[in-house]
Amino acid sequence: MGLKHSSSLFLFILFIFFFLSSRVCSQACLKTCGQIPIKYPLGTGSGCGDSRFTRYIKCDPDQQTLTLTTHTGCYPITSVDYTKQIIYVTDSSMSTCACTRPSQGFGLDWDAPFSFHDDTVFTLLDCSVDESPVFKPLSNSTGRVSLCDRQSSSICNFLYSNCRAISLINLQESTCCVYVPLDLGPSFEMDLQKLRCSSYSGFYNLGPAQESHPENWNYGIALKYKFNVFDEYPAVCGGCERSNGACGYNTQTSSFVCNCPGGINTTSDCFFLYNSASILLPWFSTGAWMMYPLSWVVIWTVMSLP
C-alpha cells in the first residue's frame, strides 16, 4: 500500500511540473518580433502593448516581421528607438539610389497615435511643372513658382546628379520638390496622384556631411509617438517589464494587464512567478490561476490519495 501511495504521489508531482513547464515556456505577448525587441507601447497582437497602437502595428508570427498598416498600405518596420520614441519604416514603392519606381504616395490615418518625425524629409520626383499644385502660377501668368523648400534645393541637385537610378531615366531636376512633413497638413497625406508627381523619396537623419552622397542616405520614414497626452511612461508598465512581463490590456475593458510567461495575466507584475516556495495551480471554481506553497500541494496530494 505504501508503495502505491509513493508511486501516485511521484506521478502527480511529475505531472504538475511538466504542466507548469509547458505553461511557462511560452508567452502570449512576445518580447521580440524577428530582430526587433518589443516594448510598450508596441505589442505583437491583440491585448498586447497599448490598445491605440494595436490597430496599426502587428507582428507576423510566421514571417517574424513587424509591420505598420495605414490606409495607403503595409510597411515593414526596420527598427524602433524606444529612448527617442521613434519608429522607422520603409516603403517598397519608394524611389532610392538603388531603384526608381512609380508610387502612389504615403499617408498616416488621421487618428493614428504617431506623426512624422521632424528629421524626415520628403522629395517629390518627376512632378508636372504645368499641373502639379506644388508649382504655383504667377499673377502675371508669365510662369510658375515652386512652393517647395528652396533652401534644400541642393538635395535635388545631389539626388539627380549623383543617384544613378534617377539619372538613368533622365528626370529633370526642375521637377523635383523637397519639403518637410509640416507641409503635408493636418491629414498627413501625400497623394502623388493629386500632386501630379510620379514618385517620391523619403529619408531621415540627413547630416551635412552626407548630403552629397545620396547612395548612403537613410531611406525610409521616421515616425514619432507619445505614451499619452503628457507623454509619461506608465509606472505600472515599468514594474511589469522589470519582472519579465509584457505590458498589455484587457480586450474587453481596456484596463492594464501584465502578461507573464505562460500567458498568465495579472494587474501588477510577474514577480510572484519567481517565488521558489510556491507553485501555480488552477482554482477551478473561478477559472483563475492561484499561487500555493509547494508544501501545501504535497500535503493535499497525500491526503487525497486512497
C-alpha distance across the termini of the chain, in Å: 9
pLDDT band at 305 (very low <50, low <70, confident <90, very high): low
Pairwise CA distance, residues 178 & 73, whole Å: 23
Pairwise CA distance, residues 306 & 302, whole Å: 9
* Nearest by Cα to 86 from 45, 116, 128: 116
Of residues 234 and 2, more confidently modeled: 234
Q: Considering the chain, what is the average pLDDT of its residues?
A: 78
With residue 153 as reference, give the H or E element that holds it: helix 153-162
What is the pLDDT, as a whole number, of residue 160?
Answer: 84
Q: List all residues 6 or more positions away from 141 whose beta carbon is below 8 Å from its beta carbon.
A: none
pLDDT band at 129 (very low <50, low <70, confident <90, very high): confident
What is the pLDDT, as a whole number, of residue 245?
Answer: 92
What is the pLDDT, as a whole number, of residue 283?
Answer: 41
Per-residue pLDDT tens over the stretch 71-105: 999 999 999 999 999 999 999 999 888 888 888 88
Average pLDDT over residues 262-281: 70
CA atoms within 13 A on the CB side of 273: 23
Global pTM? 0.76
Pairwise CA distance, residues 180 & 122, whole Å: 6
How much of the chain is in helix, strand and coil states, percent to nearest 5? 25, 30, 45
What is the pLDDT, as a whole number, of residue 24?
Answer: 40
